[in-house]
Structure 1
Amino acid sequence: MPAAPPPLASYVESWHPRPVTDGDDLAPGPAAALSAVLNLPAPAAGPGDPLPPLWHWLHFLTWPAHRDLGADGHPLKGHFLPPVPDRQRMWAGGRCEIAEPLRLGEPAERVAGLASVTAKQGRTGELLFVTERREFRQYGRTCLVEEQDIVYRSGRGGAPHPRELDESAFPHPGDPWQVPLRPDPALLFRFSALTANAHRIHYDAPYCRDEEGYPGVVVHGPLLALLMLETVRRHAPDRRVRSLAYRLRSPVFAGERLTACGTPAGDEAALRVATHREERHATAEVTFQAP
């Protein structure tokens, strides 16, 4: 009988990557490109214009050499990639505190560090939760602080289902804010290019079915998060987001009609992504700055 594999925590006991600082000029091109991809009103056009919440994901990108990618399209090595064999990766959610918006055309600095690493037992096996913390600064001022939660597992036992991450209910009394979208493979391909994401689950249907256990091409988790925040920009353009927390719960697949929904309540709003299959593929809570 083969020996049981070592626990995931054993691979990261001595893994303590140091913080990394890099810069970006926040050129306006990526924001204009994303607006075109999603048929959205352009949020910013030139130097000094503020970026909407989470649109900084279009910047500070890295492009490893193609030979350095694994079979799944992800880099084989990376500063904040845990040394776990045969990794499978899923973006689970995150949080963001916004003191002031980042502004286009002005030099920005990002300081990224490892916040926490936690091993947990899920329904499909052991999971490793890695949280990366990032601070974004312009002219010496901290504008935005973000945490991203990434979940890893080892082996080809099927991707961890997001429901393993959070079983709590998310109540919603109604959805006066709505933004519909039907993402097709071309849209997902363009979004992958804009975010330097080569993960094959977003464009390779046979790989999705045969290797990762999905029935079709998967819509990007960051795209679902951006769409939830788009309900705020469309329906409450004068409200400034002070903080947000989002959770990616279950996948949406290419070709499905989805709706990003929002319900305001005073200085807060509850957001979600729904399809005909499920009411809460992704959820978010937003807090607005007081008037």
Structure 2
Amino acid sequence: MRPRPNKVLAVGALTRSFRRFNTTDTPTTTTTTTTTPDVATADTTAPKAASAESTLSEELDEYLKKAKTRMAARKPKILIDPLSPMNSHLLDIALQDHLPRPRHRKPQDPVRLALKETTLLPNGHHLVYFPLQAPKSALQPDGTDPDHAPGWPFVRRMWAGGSVSFSPGLIFNPSFDTKGWCIESVGEPVLKRGSGPGDEKVFVEVKRQYGYAPAALLAELSPSKLLEKHQSVQMEEIRKLVFMRERGPVKVADGTEPAPPARIIKSNSKPQYSFTLNPDPTLLFQFSALTYNAHAIHLDPDYARNQEGYPERLVHGPLTLVLMLTALRRLLRRTDPARRPSPREPSKKLEDSTLLEEINYRNLAPLFVGQEIRVCVRETARKVGSGTQTWELWVEGPDGSLAVRGTATTRRAGVTAGRKTEGMGWKEAFDGPRWLDGLPAFSKYVFYDPATRSGSRSIIEGRTDGVEEGKKTEGESEKGGEEKV
């Protein structure tokens, strides 16, 4: 049998990396033999390799067990945000010079948006709200959130993908005494073994649920009680993170440890709409600032090269999600007259527009600063009568390879059960101060469905007061939510 010393050394080195989790280290002894080299190697190398692999597998199992225990102890947390239009406005400004002209409209004035209480956040703009709230001393060495990390040695984090369900989404400034809330919980870590030792990865899902509640109530309720009392979850998101092994300092420039060749996958689809852009350091900095993301792979070129082994800083995974949803929104404006802007009426009401219901996406390959990317979208299916459409979205790297791939579902707001309704949209029911659970609720918003003649979802209370059997309460006015680019 041919000797396999390289595999033994590789597995042995990986095994030693887990000494932190072992109580004792076994000393290594060296023996010599006078037998034939081939026979000696066959007798000793294979058992050593099998033993090392078995030890590594046991240590991985023990690591995963401890990681599950640690992460199970991390309780869900509530994040509060007033949902000011300014965050979305600044994101529009950051993207303005990177999107095609002249079709891309200038960002709307946040003061005007603040006066339009039923204005929906543009799809994807929720990413610049409900940020991490932790000082530098509480962050991981690379600037990431420690609550999401499974623990050493899996410390190199990447955004692997996720999903967002809109029902129907968030609005700016829900009311004077009402704030937006986000309940964030971390799922159980999952270990996936790669093609060989050292290729293992740990996947973690972060679940986020979004809604509204009176500000005074938010200070007193736990996440479970909040969901129990306010079951109107307006949006639900899953963020999929992947953690890879710690690696020592590398030098990509001199080729001492070159990056492995990336697998190139290209799309066979032709987009209905696409645009190209070149993410520069300014865009990455602005998006990091808006999302309160201090991850060094987006900001520090030396860290990206010498610690992570990448040729340059990486484009944010959530930024590519924003770009794909921007492309979808612009295609809908081209094909949907109700969403097409005009000089006199820059945005239309929701009653006759198309609403995004869900998007699922995966990040397949990293994208780097300074390299041109292409954002694409096309329709893949349409259900006649139901108003439902399915879309394929993807982002291509500079060589045309797939970097991000996703699917989205939209629904015509005024089509329900195969027929055109009077129109679905936001209704504001306001007849003076009301009381809920001992607290004043001065304003209520209900997503009204004329097909069922009822409010299908209440933003604040989870109830449909003020909209009953299709009748308006005194002083109630109908307002269509507006979406901006």
Shared topology, TM-score over 0.5? yes
- 1:57 Cα deviation after fit: 1.1
Q: Is 1:132 the equivalent of 2:223? A: no
**Per-residue deviation, residues 237-280 of structure 1 (Å, max 9, x unmatched):** 44211011011111111111111100113211101111331331
Matching residue of 1:177: 273
Alpha-carbon distance between aligned partners in 2 of 1:174 and 1:199, rounded to the nearest angstrom: 34
Matching residue of 1:152: 243
Q: Is 1:239 the equivalent of 2:354? A: yes
- 1:48 Cα deviation after fit: 2.6
- Specify which of 20, 31, 35 is matched with residue 88 of structure 2: 31
- Specify which of 220, 234, 246 is matched with residue 316 of structure 2: 220
- 1:285 Cα deviation after fit: 0.3
- Amino acid aligned to 2:297: I
Alpha-carbon distance between aligned partners in 1 of 2:248 and 2:234, rounded to the nearest angstrom: 40
- 1:158 Cα deviation after fit: 9.2
Q: Secondary structure at the match of 1:122?
A: coil
Q: Is 1:102 the equivalent of 2:170? A: yes
Matching residue of 1:207: 303
Alpha-carbon distance between aligned partners in 2 of 1:21 and 1:59, rounded to the nearest angstrom: 13
Q: Secondary structure at the match of 2:88?
A: helix
Alpha-carbon distance between aligned partners in 2 of 1:282 and 1:211, rounded to the nearest angstrom: 24
Q: How does 1:40-59 map onto structure 2 within 5 Å?
A: 41=105, 42=107, 45-46=113-114, 47-59=117-129
Q: Secondary structure at the match of 1:201?
A: helix
- Specify which of 138, 148, 157 is matched with residue 89 of structure 1: 157
Higher relative contact order by CA 8 Å / sep ≥ 6: 1 or 2? 1
- Of the structure 1 ranges 272-281 and 99-108, higher mean CA displacement relative to structure 2 is found in 272-281
- Amino acid aligned to 1:223: L
Q: What TM-score, normalized by structure 1, do the two folds share?
A: 0.88
Q: Is 1:284 the equivalent of 2:406? A: yes
Alpha-carbon distance between aligned partners in 1 of 2:264 and 2:359, rounded to the nearest angstrom: 18
- Amino acid aligned to 1:132: V
- Amino acid aligned to 1:264: E
Asked whether the equivalents of residues 22 and 60 of structure 1 are also in contact (C-alpha less than 8 Å), the reply is yes
- 1:145 Cα deviation after fit: 1.1
The size of the alignment, in residue pairs, is 285
- 1:171 Cα deviation after fit: 5.4
Asked whether the equivalents of residues 181 and 257 of structure 1 are also in contact (C-alpha less than 8 Å), the reply is yes
Q: Secondary structure at the match of 1:156?
A: coil
Cα distance change of structure 1 residues 277 and 246 upon mapping to structure 2, 3 Å threshold = same
Asked whether the equivalents of residues 179 and 230 of structure 1 are also in contact (C-alpha less than 8 Å), the reply is no
Alpha-carbon distance between aligned partners in 2 of 1:158 and 1:236, rounded to the nearest angstrom: 47
- 1:71 Cα deviation after fit: 3.1
Cα distance change of structure 1 residues 240 and 168 upon mapping to structure 2, 3 Å threshold = farther
Q: What TM-score, normalized by structure 2, do the two folds share?
A: 0.55
Please give the root-mean-square deviation of Cα atoms over the aligned residues, in Å: 2.6
Larger Rg: 2
**Per-residue deviation, residues 45-73 of structure 1 (Å, max 9, x unmatched):** 33331012221111111242223334322
Alpha-carbon distance between aligned partners in 2 of 1:88 and 1:122, rounded to the nearest angstrom: 16
Q: Secondary structure at the match of 2:307?
A: helix
- Amino acid aligned to 1:138: Y
Q: Is 1:191 the equivalent of 2:287? A: yes
- 1:81 Cα deviation after fit: 2.9
| Higher-helix-fraction structure | 2
**Per-residue deviation, residues 166-223 of structure 1 (Å, max 9, x unmatched):** x997855310111321111111111110111111111211111111010011111111
Q: Secondary structure at the match of 1:256?
A: coil
- Amino acid aligned to 2:172: L
Alpha-carbon distance between aligned partners in 2 of 1:132 and 1:70, rounded to the nearest angstrom: 17
- Of the structure 1 ranges 171-180 and 223-232, higher mean CA displacement relative to structure 2 is found in 171-180
Matching residue of 1:111: 183
Alpha-carbon distance between aligned partners in 1 of 2:276 and 2:323, rounded to the nearest angstrom: 9
Q: Secondary structure at the match of 1:240?
A: strand
Asked whether the equivalents of residues 161 and 362 of structure 2 are also in contact (C-alpha less than 8 Å), the reply is yes
**Per-residue deviation, residues 120-163 of structure 1 (Å, max 9, x unmatched):** 0135521111011111112532111111101112311699x9x9
Cα distance change of structure 1 residues 61 and 186 upon mapping to structure 2, 3 Å threshold = same
Matching residue of 1:21: 78
Asked whether the equivalents of residues 264 and 401 of structure 2 are also in contact (C-alpha less than 8 Å), the reply is no
Sequence identity percentage: 26
Structure 2: give runs of 5+ residues left out of the alignment. Answer: 1-11, 19-58, 97-103, 214-229, 251-258, 334-352, 383-388, 416-485
- Amino acid aligned to 1:28: P
Q: Secondary structure at the match of 1:186?
A: helix
Cα distance change of structure 1 residues 66 and 22 upon mapping to structure 2, 3 Å threshold = closer
- Of the structure 1 ranges 105-114 and 30-39, higher mean CA displacement relative to structure 2 is found in 105-114
Asked whether the equivalents of residues 86 and 156 of structure 1 are also in contact (C-alpha less than 8 Å), the reply is no
